[in-house]
């Protein structure tokens, strides 16, 4: 956000994301992002609230943050077989005028087979445990195994900037 020149503060909503379930990944990320917004609206009058959520789809399955290191390793091993697609949902609320906008962006990462020693090193760093699908496209150890990216890096990282700019414009009050 700071890179976009947007002054902001971070506030974490107190919601149980695992209690929100949908079989469609697009519906899931929008439902979770909307729940985050709803939890924050009362705390922040006269402002714009931006919330987001992301999952990864792989072979028709929805992947959220890995439950443990074993699942993280399983995720990373599997990406050499088929692309990992990130599904990012953004929900924007202007609490001053009541306008709401939301949208989805998808991007895919095509990996080569990731060696076991690299998988272990990536997991030992720990950051992937907090990421949908158990990977970070910007992780230097994974870079040599990224064959191709379809979409934008910012979308894969969880905050698609083009979509965010459009949603922010949609909730503004015209002058």
Of these residues, 14, 16, 24, 53, which one is catalytic?
A: 53
Q: Residues 20, 28: contact at Cβ < 8 Å?
A: yes
β-bridge partners, 106: 87
Active-site annotation holds for 117? no
Q: For the chain, what is the radius of gyration of the CA atoms?
A: 17
Of 103, 102, 100, 90, the closest CA to residue 48 belongs to 100
Cα separation of 73 and 28, whole Å?
A: 24
Helix axes 116-125, 69-78, angle to 10 degrees: 140
Catalytic residues: 53
């Amino acid at each position: 956000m700071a890179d976009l020149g947007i002054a902001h503060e971070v506030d974490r909503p107190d919601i149980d994301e695992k209690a929100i379930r949908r079989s469609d990944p697009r519906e899931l990320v929008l439902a979770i992002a909307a729940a985050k917004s709803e939890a924050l609206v009362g705390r922040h009058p006269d402002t714009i609230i931006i919330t987001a959520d992301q999952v990864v789809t792989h072979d028709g399955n929805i992947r959220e943050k890995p439950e443990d290191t074993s699942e993280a390793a399983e995720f990373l091993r599997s990406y050499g077989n088929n692309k990992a697609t990130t599904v990012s949902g953004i929900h924007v609320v202007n609490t001053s005028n009541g306008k709401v906008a939301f949208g989805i962006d998808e991007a895919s990462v095509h990996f080569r087979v990731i060696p076991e020693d690299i998988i272990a090193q990536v997991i030992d760093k720990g950051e992937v445990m907090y990421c949908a699908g158990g990977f970070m496209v910007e992780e230097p150890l994974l870079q040599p195994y990224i064959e191709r990216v379809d979409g934008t890096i910012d979308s894969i990282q969880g905050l698609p900037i083009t979509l965010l700019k459009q949603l922010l414009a949609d909730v503004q009050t015209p002058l």
